[in-house]
Amino acid sequence: MRTGIFLNYAGGFLEAVDQIVELEKVGVDVAFVAEAYSYDAISQLGFLAAKTTRMELATGVVPIYIRTPTLLAMTAAGLDYVSDGRFRLGIGTSGPQVMEGFHGVPFDAPLGRTREVIDICRQVWRRERVTYDGKHYQIPLPADRGTGLGKPLQLINHPVRDSIPINIAALGPKNVELTAEIANGWQPVFFLPEKADEVWGDALRAGFAKRDPALGPLDVTVSAPLAIGDDVNDRLAWTKPQLALYIGGMGARGKNFYHNLATRYGYGDVANDIQDLYLAGKKTEAIAAVPDELVRAVSLVGPRGYVKERLAAFAEAGTTTLLLQPLSGDRAETLRFVEELRELLP
């Protein structure tokens, strides 16, 4: 099992980079930079490429709606170039709240657009003249929609690799099935190992049945808050604001992917309470309504023996890359948590 680190997109990036350099030295394999309604992930990854030498660098994730497929491919090829072949493209759809509320673009056809974006990216990286007649993207633009002057072009540069790994962040059954079929990696959120097969197993198996063997095994990249020690139970509260935000506030009633996931995990009543409180503006109460049981189930928080047991559960559920979120404000403690975790890996 590989280990990775997730950079917080809300701030403190320059300080985090110094920590990333230290974590690379102790063997952490990959660093992910998220993109929400924050600084973009791309500029930060370019900076990280200059500061690191070995670890893989990845978007975790960028939304497909706000860049054209060819721009996404160009950007990925550029990051792969400046990192000397260490880049992984993580993509997702985000949700209506961010796409429509922040970017002002329609949130439509997530499955169809994801498939077409990946098709076009891989065409660009192979330096083919890009021609695509999809439902959502047409390249070149047809004459009846433009001037008729557009001609197929190919990427001028020669990419470091003609096939850059692609992760998809997916939660719903159809999205997960598509991921298992066409992606190199899958990035779920709030992963509860004991419920993973019940929630996603059928979708994964359906996708694997259509998967091209040339893609190789699917890299299952799972995020997990981390704190190791006999007196770290208080750290469970540190991750409750994020859970409350996603379950309660990332979308309207009936259109919140994270609320749906908590419900499928068996926490429907709790999810409803959190959502009611959050949408009523009672954020403090919503955070308090997140149960320790749920936080603990999706985290690696506790004594070494307990964390070792949880690692075995994550491995049994198919995790191949563990994306750590150390629950600490102290650099030395963060480093200790990660080093101890690596010692406990199965």
Percent of the chain beyond pLDDT 70?
99
Find the mean pLDDT for residues 71-80: 98
Tally of domains in the chain: 2
Whether residues 219 and 93 share a domain: the answer is yes
- Does residue 167 sit in the same domain as residue 310? yes
Alpha carbon of 171 to those of 2, 42, 114: distances in Å? 22, 24, 14
pLDDT-wise least confident of 12-16, 58-62, 82-86: 12-16
Q: Are residues 112 and 199 in the same domain?
A: yes
* CATH code for the domain in which residue 124 is found: 3.20.20.30
**257 and 119 in one domain?**
no
Write down the pLDDT at residue 252: 83
Q: Are 228 and 303 in contact (CB under 8 A)?
A: yes
Range of the domain at 179: 2-227+299-344
Cα distances from 114 to residues 4, 23, 139, 150, in angstroms, run 25, 32, 16, 24
Q: What is the pTM of this model?
A: 0.95
Q: Identify whether residues 222 and 240 lie together within a single domain.
A: no
In a shared domain, residues 249 and 161 = no
End-of-domain residue from the set 298, 317, 332: 298
Q: Is the pLDDT of residue 9 over 80?
A: no
Please, what is the average pLDDT of the chain? 95
Residue 25: CA atoms inside 13 Å, Cβ hemisphere, count?
A: 9
The answer to whether residues 29 and 167 belong to one domain is yes
Which of 5, 161, 187 shows the shortest CA–CA distance to 79? 161
- Are both 116 and 257 inside the same structural domain? no
Judgement on whether residues 200 and 280 belong to the same structural domain of the protein: no
Question: Do 133 and 268 sit in the same domain of this protein?
Answer: no
190 and 52 within one domain: yes
Tell me the average pLDDT across 246-274: 93
Condensed to tens digits (0 to 9), the pLDDT of residues 30-40 reads 999 999 888 99
Q: Which helix (H) or strand (E) holds 227?
A: strand 219-228
Of 31-40, 66-75, 123-132, 312-321, where does mean pLDDT reach its minimum? 31-40
DSSP 119-151: HHHHHHHTT----EE-SS-EESPPGGGS-S---
Single-letter amino acid, residue 286: A
Are 128 and 179 in the same domain?
yes
Read off the pLDDT of residues 179-229 as tens digits, 9 standing for 90 and up.
999 999 999 999 999 999 999 999 999 999 999 999 999 999 999 999 999
Q: Is the pLDDT of residue 300 over 90?
A: yes
Q: Of 266, 282, 298, which closes a domain?
A: 298
Report whether pLDDT(16) > 90: no
pLDDT at 95: 86
